Structure 1
Amino acid sequence: MASLDARYAPDSSYAWLRLAMSLLLGTVACVGTWSVVVVLPSVQAEFGTLRAGAALPYTCVMIGFGFGNIAMGRIADRYGIVVPVVMGALLLGSGYLLAALAQSLWQFALVHLVLIGIGGGAGFSPLIADLSHWFRRHRGLAVVFGASGSYLAGVIWPQLITWGVAHHGWRTTHVAIGLTVLIIMLPMSLFFRRRPSVEHMAADDAASSSARGDLGLSANQLQWLLATAGFCCCVAMAMPQVHIVAYCGDLGYGVARGAEMLSLMLLLGIISRIGSGFVADRIGGTATLALGSAMQGAALFLYLWFDGLTSLYIVTAIFGLFQGGIVPMYAVIIREYLPAKEAGVRIGIVMSATVLGMAFGGYVSGAIFDYFASYRVAFLNGLAWNLVNLGLVCWLMMRARPRNSLGHSTPAAV
């Protein structure tokens, strides 16, 4: 029995296999947060709306995604990860099939809110929380790998969807997405039936309780501080991510160039996320988050000065490298300081705040464009929100002690 248990210990070969499967699952499940970005110009033309109106389905899918992260996270805490994965597959599959039949913008947006958004939530926070239980020494790296599924989705899906829309139209493409999600996610759910041991969960709870005492904040105080910081950083992050395709179209470079930039941004974001995992395992999640926030602000500032085709590729690449590791750090901090048995719902709450930030940022950037007929003010708006995030994170960093991979305090340097 002991040898059997050792096979499923933290950081075991099984844990790494589970990480790989989670990355694949997240890549498929997070399609909804990117498909709506790529079809934004087509939806605007189809339903005859302004840019802000065309961005409404994105806002809806992100609101649904945020709610889905909380709901699916709570379900995963109680019943394990299999149940939310199956639910997510069914919601996503039916959502894309119904989106293909939408005859008005409000129908298209409603489907994204209720089905695609909530269903996609199964592929983010619950998977991150589940992975965090299977790693100790490499928890930061595991969390960022799990979170990279959403970015890998942004690398792969926009190219496939761009091709599908160009050759078969956006409606047929949505049908194909729905069928693909069902075919892949439902069989994969069977792999995730094993749950972490009770002893391992108890040890993690004890470590996080000690860490929280050092920090000097209650669990709820820390959670809402992280939620506020996450909202602010993602309002800033949304400007390039949501509008880069439309921005390139407005500049005369074409939406295909914008889709390429989006994929480049997210591909390099994966590299950034993986790198941030290595850094977090050494200096802690809070310091890594502060570093990422500062670099994201620098990249946003560059967008104000460069709008040539080549320079946009370069600035977008820089933005991808700088911002990719930010969102997973909230999950790393939660697992350092908050109860392990509540990881799913607590990570879900903070991740939903980041998602709402993306939703608000995507919509308000479109509204600013409609008012000023320019994205320059929208970039300035994003930069202002990023500065608020940086201030909150730096305050938290000054209160936090660095912690090692086993959750023990590291003495301050003298």
Structure 2
Amino acid sequence: MLPSASVESKTSWAVASVALAILGMSFGAGWITAVALKDIASEVGGSRSVPALAGALAWLGSGIGGILMSRIAERIGTRSTVIFGSLMIGLGLTISTLGPPWPLWIGHGLFIGLIGLGGINAPLYIYVSRWFDRRRGSALALISSGTYVAGAFWPPIFEQVIASYGWRQAMLWYTLAEIVVVAPLAAIYFRTPPELVLPAAASGASSNKARVLGWPPNAVFVLMCCAAILCCIPMAMPQGHLVAFCSDLGISRSMGALMLSVLLGTAFLSRQIWGVISDRIGGLATVLIGSAWQAASMTTFLLTQNEAGLFTVAAAFGLGFSGIIPAYVLAVRELFPASEASWRIPTLLLFSGGGMAAGSWLAGLLYDHLGNYAPAFAVGIGANILNVLIIGVLVGRKPHHTVAYRSVL
């Protein structure tokens, strides 16, 4: 496509910025449980797997719901699914205050995850990607930072509110704030995107003949989905358990919440750099570098026990993992046609969300049985190494095989 025919404009970046703000508010709902993990666990005999499962169900529900809600967004528009999702997140937080355990699990899994974030996260990835053709990697990196904006900004605030008023009141107040911000922004800014998406038959490549990296397209996609699970298992562990982990080491919850903010704030800032890098070297290569960095920094959590060291490790972890998920999405857009984005992107996000869910829950479960987080972190590192091997194989094939699919812009 000639540069003059680019779909990008100032409006594209305005839409991406609004999407970032909406995701920052929407994902804020899940961080209340992470900050209040020990408070909630104290109501169920100290079992950390109970609140950890709530966070896991929210991630898993978001992935499953993203497939369904992305299809619905294709029919009725992303604006409608985002507004609906914001209302369901508020309802899920309200229901969660009636627990634990079951109201907490239902509120997070069904309402916050499945029909809340499911109506917002994956549909926005697809929607925003259609506003860009030159700097799509940078745009995806920006909007996918929503969870990190939420994680950098909200935990210290939640810690203060929870300490003063309790975790239930924090959820109820956040319900009001989330709906008031998200619904009007979506109503005002989200209109039909400019990218023309042609039917698969018109793209010039039949799915049963075209090959990607020299292999059948779905075989490559399955490997990408498996790799997404494996990289997200370790990714979720520090995010969901860092505050509790610090508390076990005698570090105050306020410092733990601040450390979580440092981790996710660093992730937000570095993700923008990863976006620029991915525009230059491609999605798969960016995933490989970020995954290797994540494995190395995850290992240092096993070697560090003091407060200053953990702040450094948290920042390093944020630097490494932050570029992985948007790079996966970019790789999908690079390797497969735009007409398949509405199901491939949410399917990939389902597997990454499943990995996040497994990592968060597994860390809580292993802690309950073994009394510390070291075994869970070791399992996460093992999963990360397998992820690096899979992505390494795919990247290794790229110089030798022409990609048959191209995005239709």
TM-score by length of 1: 0.90
Q: Which one of the candidate residues 284, 287, 296 is aligned to 2:285?
A: 287
For residues 163 and 281 of structure 2, what CA distance do their matches in structure 1 show?
Answer: 46
Q: What SS does the corresponding residue of 1:400 show, helix, strand or coil?
A: helix
The C-alpha deviation readout for 1:268-294, integer Å capped at 9, x for no partner, is 111221111111111111111100011
1:299 Cα offset (Å): 0.3
Partner of 1:229: 227
Query: SS of the counterpart of 1:136?
Result: coil
Distance 1:209 1:140, change over 3 A: farther
Alignment-derived partner of residue 38 in structure 2: 41
Task: Give 1:359 deviation, angstroms.
Answer: 0.9
Matches within 5 A, 1:55-204: 55-100=52-97, 102-118=98-114, 119-197=116-194, 200-202=196-198
Residues 360 and 328 of structure 1, relative CA distance in 2, 3 Å threshold: same
In structure 2, what is the Cα distance between the partners aligned to 1:70 and 1:195? 20
Query: Any conservation in 2 of the 1:143–1:332 contact (CA below 8 Å)?
Result: yes
Quick one: distance in 2 between partners of 1:103 and 1:264? 30
Letter paired with 2:131: W
| Equivalent residues, number | 399
CA contact (8 A) 1:130 1:344 kept: no
Read off the aligned partner of 1:370 and give its amino acid letter.
D
Mapped to 2, the partners of 1:378 and 1:120 lie a distance apart of 27
The farther-off stretch of 69-78 and 176-185 is 69-78
Deviation string, structure 1 residues 52-81 (Cα, Å, up to 9, x no partner) = 233221122222122222222222233321
Question: How far apart are the structure 1 equivalents of 2:204 and 2:82?
Answer: 29
Partner of 1:375: 373
1:359 paired with 2:357, answer yes
The alpha-carbon deviation at position 371 of structure 1 amounts to 2.3
Contact map agreement 2:40 2:100 (CA 8 A) in 1: no
Off by >3 Å, runs of 4+ in structure 1: 202-210, 401-404
CA contact (8 A) 2:199 2:339 kept: no
Distance 2:223 2:206 in 1: 18
Contact 1:144 1:328 in 2 (8 A): yes
Could you state the TM-score of these two structures normalised by the residue count of structure 2?
0.91
1:209 Cα offset (Å): 8.2
How many Å separate the matches in 1 of 2:264 and 2:402?
29
**Aligned counterpart, 1:16:** 13
SS in structure 2 at match of 1:137: coil
Query: Which of 205, 214, 217 is 2:215 aligned to?
Result: 217
User: CA 1:88–1:221 in 2, change beyond 3 Å: closer, same or farther?
Assistant: same
Between 1:341-350 and 1:227-236, the stretch displaced more is 341-350
How much has 1:193 moved relative to structure 2?
Answer: 4.1
State the distance in 2 between where 1:130 and 1:276 align: 21
Kept in 1, the 8 Å contact 2:336–2:406? The answer is no
Q: 1:292 to 1:70 in 2, by over 3 A?
A: same
Equivalent position of 1:3 in the other structure: none
Point out where structure 2 has 5 or more consecutive residues left out of the alignment. none
Residue by residue over 1:186-242, the C-alpha shift from the partner in whole angstroms, topping out at 9 and shown as x without a partner, is 1112234422346x32399849989x7452233432322211110000111122111
The question of whether the paired residues in 1 share the 8 Å contact of 2:7 and 2:194 is answered with no
- Give the deviation of 1:344 after TM superposition: 3.1
Residues 76, 344 of structure 1: 8 Å contact kept: no
Structure 1 unpaired stretches of 5+: 1-5, 409-414
| Deviation for aligned residue 1:25 | 0.9
Identity %: 33
Shift of 1:342: 3.1
Q: Does 1:301 align with 2:316?
A: no
Structure 2 partner of 1:345: 343
Structure 1 partner of 2:395: 397
Equivalent residue, structure 2, for 1:31: 28
